[in-house]
Amino acid sequence: MAWYKPVFYICVRMALFTKTSASYTYEQECANIAIVAGLPFVPAQLSAANGCVTATRGVDLFVALTTASTPQDVCALAVAAFSALDALHAANCIHLDAKAANFIVCAGTRSGGANVVGSGAPRHVCLIDFETLWYPDAKARKRQLFNAESALLTEYGRRPYAAYESMPREVRAKYDVHTFCASLLARLPSTNTTRRLLSACTVVLGHTPVVVAGVSASGKLTKYTEYLVDATKPVMNARRAIEAVTKALEAEPRQPSYSDAVATKHAPLYAVR
C-alpha cells in the first residue's frame, strides 16, 4: 500500500518500463510475479531482477478512460478491464488493489487476453503491481509477509491470508470488482462520455461504499472508498459487471447515484494500498 512505500517509474528501452521499490515489497512482488507471469491478464513481458520489475509499457487505464472520445470507447475499455479481472479470478487469484491506476492499456491484441473490442486501434488491458496478490497454497514465507501487511491495513478491509483461503471464490472476487468500480466513481469525472460507465458501476457495487480515512502518498489525510470492508455486500462478479456495462451503454445516460462524500471528493491518483 502506497502510503508507506516510495515507488518510482523509470523509462528504459522502447516499449518497456522498470519499477523499483523498497526491498520488503520487492520480495513479495517478485514471488507473486512468478505465479502470474505468462498469463494473459498481465503484461506480455513481466519479470523481476535486482530489485526491479520490468514490464511491457502501457497507458494508465485511468488516463485512457479520461481521454476516450466516445461512451463506446469508455465502456469497451472497462469491459476489457473486467475481462482481465475475470481471468485473474479464474486463475484463483485476487489482486487486492485493483484500482483503475493498476491497469494498463497495451498496443495490439493478445491470444486469450483482455482485448478491447470494437474501439479504435487494436489494444488489450493488463493488470500491474502485484505486491498485494493473494493466491492459494502459498508457502509459509509468503503467508508471513502477506499477514504482516494485512495487519497494518485492517481498517481498509484487508484480512489475514487464511481468511481469504476460507472464503468461497465468488466472495473473494468481490474485493477486486469493488475496488475497480469504487476507484472510478471516486475519480473519473462525470461527462457525456463517462456517465454510462459510472452508472454501471453503481449497479455493479449494489451499495454505497464505506468511506475510510487514510493517509495518501503525499502524507495528506484523505477519504477512500476503494476498499471493501464488508464482503457480504452485493457486489457483482466480473462477468456480471460486463453485462451491466453493456446494458448501461444501451440505455440513456444518467448521473451516478452516490453519496456526496464520494460524488464530490476526488481522491489522489494513487490511493492507500
Give the three cell numbers for residue 25: 515489497
Question: What does DSSP say about strands 46-49 and 16-21: parallel, antiparallel, or unpaired?
Answer: unpaired
Separation of alpha carbons 242 and 269, rounded Å: 24
- pLDDT at position 218 is 74
CB 180 within 8 A of CB 260: no
Rounded to whole angstroms, how far apart are CA atoms 24 and 242?
36
Q: In what order do the strands lie in the sheet with 52-56?
A: 7-11, 16-21, 52-56, 46-49
Q: How far apart (Å, rounded) are the C-alpha atoms in residues 8 and 101?
A: 14
User: SS3 helix, strand, coil % of the chain, rounded to 5?
Assistant: 40, 15, 40
CA 89 to CA 122: how far, in whole Å? 24
**Domain ranges, ordered by start, for the chain:** 2-263
Query: With helix as H, strand as E and coil as C, how does 124-179 read?
Result: EEEECCCCCCECCCCCHHHHHHHHHHHHHCHHHCCCCHHHHHHCCHHHHHHHHHHH
Residue 220: the pLDDT is 83
Residue 2 is given by DSSP the state G
Q: For position 23, what pLDDT does the model report?
A: 63
Of 236, 232, 231, which Cα lies nearest the Cα of 204? 236
Per-residue pLDDT of the chain (273 residues; tens, 9 = 90+): 444 333 333 333 337 777 676 566 788 888 899 999 999 999 999 988 888 888 899 999 999 999 999 999 999 999 999 999 999 999 999 999 999 999 999 999 999 999 999 867 899 999 999 999 999 999 999 999 999 999 988 888 999 999 999 999 999 999 999 999 999 999 999 999 999 999 999 999 999 999 988 877 677 888 888 999 999 999 999 999 999 999 998 875 444 444 434 433 333 333 333
Structure confidence at residue 22 (pLDDT): 59
CATH number of 2-263: 1.10.510
- Whether the CB-CB separation of 115 and 106 falls below 8 Å is answered with no
Residue 252 is predicted with a pLDDT of: 57
Q: Give pLDDT, residue 155.
A: 87
Phi, psi torsion values for 27, nearest 5 degrees: -60, -45
User: Distance between CA 56 and CA 50 in Å, rounded?
Assistant: 18
| CB 175 within 8 Å of CB 273 | no
Grid cell for residue 38 = 505468462
Q: How far apart are CA 273 and CA 269, in angstroms?
A: 12
d(CA 270, CA 112): 29
Q: What is the pLDDT of residue 19?
A: 67
Amino acid identity of residue 182, one-letter, is A
Beta strands in 103-211 (DSSP E): 103-107, 114-115, 123-127
Phi-psi region of 130 (alpha: psi -120 to 50; beta: other; left: phi over 0): alpha
Neighbouring C-alpha atoms within 13 Å toward the C-beta of 223: 13
3-state secondary structure of 170: helix
